[in-house]
Chains A and B, each alone.
Chain A
């Protein structure tokens, strides 16, 4: 089944403790992206990657890192999480670019930072 898999689905952590949210897609998509979803703000792009070793900032990159060492994986790293990073996170992928093809989304990771 074609899908984007995120792990974990739920995570509670403490301020400052580094964490990684994994994202993997099995569709051989070139384009991958991370979004955060907050009430009243919709989805905002954190980082995106157009291909292996190519990443760029989205609209809200502060406090996050990403890497794209393999085509299928695009982990999101929070080096020192803070409470304002409590949010619902989505990974998404697209075959050549979301403008024409749209996104396939993962099921989300609900992160709480206390």
Chain B
């Protein structure tokens, strides 16, 4: 149980284009989903928290107009990187918060490798 998927797993796009990444909780409902970014050899940095049906909360320094997050259902959140530039190249990981029966936990997706050329 508690499986989170991401699509695509890898994407290459040209500078100036937009890319959408999907995060799905496959076997549980996630009222809260999180988006993290990880640069090479670095730790995970939280970008934003999204609650189903409401606007995402962005961490300081994350441009909300550049990283559009939509959490339209209890099983799906999307991250759209608009007008991508090479410095946006990174590993994007989502997580979904779900109740295991023993309390809430975050379950991590497999990640999406974005390369902007």
Are A and B genuine complex partners? no
Residues of A within 8 A of B (CB): none
